[in-house]
Amino acid sequence: MTNKFQFPKDFLWGGAIAANQAEGAFGVDDKGISLADVHPYYPDKTNEEIHEEQLKGMTLEQVKENIHDKYHYYPKRHGIDFYHTFPQDLELLAEMGFKCFRTSIDWTRIFPTGEEDVPNEAGLRYYDNLINKIIELGMEPIITILHYETPISITLHYGGWHNRKVIDLFVKYAKVILDRYKDKVKYWIVINQINLIQFEPFNSTAIAYDTVDDYPSAVFQAIHNQFIASAKVYEYAKKINPELMIGTMVADCTAYPYSCDPNDVVLAMKRNRMQYFYTDVQFRGHYPKYALNYFAENNINVDITNADKELLRNNTMDYLAISYYYSQMVDSRKNTMDLTSTAPNPNLEANPWGWAVDPQGLYNCLSQYWDRYEKQILIAENGFGMYDKLENGKIHDDYRINYLAEHIKEIKHAIYDGAKVIGYCAWGPIDIISCSSAQMEKRYGFIYVDLDNTGHGSGKRIKKDSFAWYKKVIASNGEDLDTQ
């Protein structure tokens, strides 16, 4: 009897990284300073304290101090030296049988401040070599145009993404790379996790929170400007190559109700609706009434012109990219509409960073988004961050294998129920710097990189147990998920 839960024959198995978390080579070949480059590692803080620091965002004084700070260590300036090691690293991924590889192009390698008229050819040559190598090894390149790599000059000179002038600066950059790679890269993600304005406020908007009088309005204006920039990128991409697939990306931040209490159910519904807001605008082409009501009720002012409305209506995205790591829950007695306000789920276990492991949450996420839009879905990120222990030259990461196996089963279930999921990019297939905590020890990879939180170590690459397991999964097109 044929297994009813199966992956399509052309399913794109692979993995994903971000330039700012892997490349290093800070200042090399005229690279400028990005938002990620001013994110320090805090050795004396707990995981919870690091998380709280990230949620606060940054003041303008902090930004300026961090640019020239010689005291703290800035891990994303060093990464894993992927800028120089990518040929060997990609060969390891190809050994696993990768069909696709997602990465970003760092805006500050192409336009160091974002304001230049002429792109930096040295930066473009690096990405020429990287993309050519991905293709040479038989992988489909999936390129993110913006993955928290906005030039720091956008904060210093323009205040952040809420300034409409930033739209044209971004589109100028996007046009350069679309022109350059339009015949090599089919799948593009315009902006990584466009909805994470409360979890990644500075990374998402480039706004120093003390520089604006009305921060909530500035944040949603920044998102609106990113919607407009994305629509302009889509419009241009289709002119130069109609076959290009231009997608938007969200992190799944939908929530379960704590109980069947109608107050819990309605709070979860309203929270979830303001998550679907981002994709409603980019797939349906207009602002939904519930979002406009939310803005009015919370005194949030967003400048939306008639020209903006027309642009959004005529340039809806081709596909949805999703990151999924954990699920959330809301209790109406304790929680609010604030995305960071959640309740622990007593039915689930969490990793050391408090991320609740919930494979069925991925089935729920994929099903809800497919039912709402019927747009192709790429799982752009999914993975298990954990402290890995190197013992006698080996890493036995059965916890990662179990996590991934259970989540992949739920993807099969969603596909069986109709969701057109086209690919799966395991996050951080080679260990990289954590986005949120700037830690190296929060590891996701199938390949261990011998570096610690302060950049010390040999940099040696070591295959974990999960390396052989994922190779088997890909070879069987997801049929062999045996964790033993």
Domains and CATH numbers, the chain: 12-475 (3.20.20.80)
Q: For residue 130, what pLDDT is reported?
A: 98
Mean pLDDT (whole number) for 393-415: 97
Of the pLDDT bands very low, low, confident and very high (cuts 50, 70, 90), residue 48 is confident
469 Cβ contact list (under 8 Å, min separation 6): 401, 404, 483
121 Cβ contact list (under 8 Å, min separation 6): none
pLDDT at 4 over 80: no
Mean pLDDT (whole number) for 92-111: 98
- Which residue intervals of 57-195 are DSSP H helices? 60-68, 82-95, 107-110, 121-136, 152-158, 165-181
Place of tokens 């809301």: 330
DSSP state of 189: E
Cβ atoms of 128 and 136 closer than 8 Å: no
Of the candidates 443, 442, 447, 441, the one whose C-alpha atom is nearest the C-alpha of residue 463 is 447
Q: For residue 346, what pLDDT is reported?
A: 93
pTM (two decimals): 0.96
pLDDT at 90 over 80: yes
238 Cβ contact list (under 8 Å, min separation 6): 244, 246
421-427 and 328-330 beta bridge pairing:
unpaired
**Rounded-to-integer distance, Cα 330 and Cα 264, Å:** 7
To the nearest 10 degrees (0 to 180), the angle between helices 262-279 and 289-297 is 110
Which amino acid appears at position 379 of this protein? I
Of the pLDDT bands very low, low, confident and very high (cuts 50, 70, 90), residue 1 is very low
**Rounded-to-integer distance, Cα 298 and Cα 195, Å:** 18
| Residue pLDDT, tens place only, 422-444 | 999 999 999 999 998 999 999 99
Dihedral-angle region of residue 478 (phi above 0 means left; psi in -120 to 50 means alpha; beta otherwise): left
To the nearest 10 degrees (0 to 180), the angle between helices 262-279 and 359-373 is 60
Of all residues in the chain, what percent carry a pLDDT higher than 90?
93
| Residue pLDDT, tens place only, 218-243 | 999 999 999 999 999 999 999 999 99
pLDDT at 265 over 50: yes
pLDDT at 47 over 90: no
